[in-house]
Structure 1
């Protein structure tokens, strides 16, 4: 199997690195292109044997599966470039949430899937969100999910839920890291403890909490009840958080959805699509 990557920026290079680190792909199986050839050459230096392509068309011609890792408003130009080169048996995988599977199926003859990855895949963990176009068959799904299974837990979702699920799987690491960073900074300022010590402690705590929620059988509210003894320190602090964060998460969801709707509208315009 030969796998192509068009776009080797933050997410494209992350996926490529994770697939190689996990053993899912050898560098010789990968073909990659980018607007900046220097970025692809750097990846080839990191992964000797990786095939550097001078154009996106070259990547498509050499690949069975192609991951499209470009920004939403770059898709139409990219599709115009590679559209005549794709084959019906190829699988093109978009990793950009506002670009819809029906957008791509309307202008391409190949098989279309959409996968939303997460930076957590660098540690071969986290969920990858999977959505499939109408031409994807059961064998195609198994192929994609077997590949993604090396670096994540593949989860099929409805495309209409891509934004809210991405808030947790893809944006979530940044949100949680922001919370921890603010907490750590306050602790350093108020107690003089070293930042490195607390950062290490926070990471271990977060890892253990994740295992309790995924392997330990706990739901979030059950974990709170187990830790927070009535009248104790944790209970007092939770009461403060509940009061201080009242409405914040509704605002967070409204913010991410508003940006998504804005990008979706632009993509609809690009692809001449009146659907909302």
Structure 2
């Protein structure tokens, strides 16, 4: 565990930002520039490979709303520091819709460059404290899928699936090849939580959530949230269709429809 003032790979540690899985993330600085430093605490091969993959894939994407990489080592990477927390920190409806629009554009850009994120959720969307100027940033490409790759075996991704169950697309649960529509489904789940405070499916067990994603129709959100228009339910139903080919063509198409309904 690094402490404030410690030096690591040319960076000076300012504070710990949090821990998830086998990684700890710190705010650090080098000269006058701030960065986020992710450090793997153990030598588990799968954790190190995910870190390597995150750096390589994100380094090949250059978009204002995708996290920018700085440099890396065998057990760490340094990236853009975003100072406003996750998308869950947003309170104004207009800001939430703006963030969704920006992330949809980032995802469509990634898809055009052969990358499917596969882990879209509110905690993987960071926002600047000056949101009107900095906007939202998509992070964590560690489980991203590259076009042309075979899908990762289900046995190789239990931690990711378990951690992201409220948002995970059905095809990730059945071992099918991810596609841009996979991110659209997860963005739809994320949108429901950002806009209403609750994920589309809720269950007391992991198996209950898996069953819901695989077999249950998306909820009619307008029935439980008075201010949500009825038309939102049909838009959501298409974005969360069980079969990827039945969803919207792009993430931006989906978000533009819900933005039009709510403004």
The bucket for the TM-score relative to the shorter chain is 0.3 to 0.5
User: Normalising by structure 2, what TM-score?
Assistant: 0.35
User: Which structure: greater strand fraction?
Assistant: 2
Structure (1/2) with the larger helix percentage? 1
- Please identify the structure whose Cα radius of gyration is greater: 1
